Amino acid sequence: MLRSSKAFLALVLVGGAVLAGCTQKEPGDATSSTTANGTTTASKTSEPTVDLPPRPAELKVDGIADACATLTKDQQRELRIDAAHSEMMDVIEDRKMPGCSFRTNSRPLYSYEVTLVSDEGVGYWQSGGNLDVVPKTVAGYGAVQVTLAGTSKADCALAVDVADGQQLFVSFLPIGDSFTQDEMCQNAAKGAEMALTTLKTLK
């Protein structure tokens, strides 16, 4: 599956196949649409709420100049990353956020996409629609795991509650069928934990 967090996950997610989006009009429900590059974007009609544990510390993402700085060279080597480039990600519908795409050039092919969302909290994902949203914790921070409902062939993402109205969004995108859904989510969680560790040192 090749998908850029561009308007994705908005989360979320897709594979080699182009998945049809579905739309619901109920207030508070998430809706999704599939973009030309095979990624899915989520939107909402109202801000839902989600129960989150207290943060160990506030880690604001606004003001971080380079999203690629969220994974150090050592962390990138551990994740087998070969290249990283900054780009504006369409994670939140109709709004571009600073992000970085970390990619591997050897098999199995995949990428990690890290997006710094400074104007929407993780509650953005806590609603109905065609997303499966599961509460998680990452290094003591509240988070939600987001996958596309009805398939195990898409990617997996973690949205981490780092500050009021802000989130660290990390998605794992496989290229091909080398990973199960569980493996995708384990990798997304690993990437999110590493990015959180680095985020504490930035600013």
Ranking 16-30, 99-113, 114-128, 155-169 by mean pLDDT, the lowest is 16-30
Contacts of 163 (CB under 8 A, 6+ apart): 55, 58, 59, 60, 61
What confidence score (pLDDT) does residue 128 get?
58
How much is the pLDDT for 50? 66
In a domain, 10, yes or no: no
For residue 11, being part of any structural domain is answered with: no
For the chain, what is the mean pLDDT?
Answer: 81
Domain-embedded: residue 3: no
Is 114 within a domain?
yes
Q: Percentage of the chain with pLDDT > 90?
A: 62
d(CA 64, CA 101): 16
On whether residue 106 sits in a domain, the answer given is yes
Task: Tell whether 70 is covered by a domain.
Answer: yes
Residue 93's pLDDT is 85
Residue 63 CB: number of other CB atoms within 10 A?
A: 9
Does some domain include residue 144?
yes
pTM for the model:
0.78
Please give the pLDDT value at position 51. 82
Show the domain range for 190. 30-47+55-199
pLDDT of residue 33: 41
**Residue for token pair 């599939």:** 34
Examine the pLDDT at 19 and tell me if it is beyond 80: no
pLDDT score at 123: 92
What pLDDT band is residue 94 in, cutting at 50, 70 and 90? confident
Number of structural domains in the chain: 1
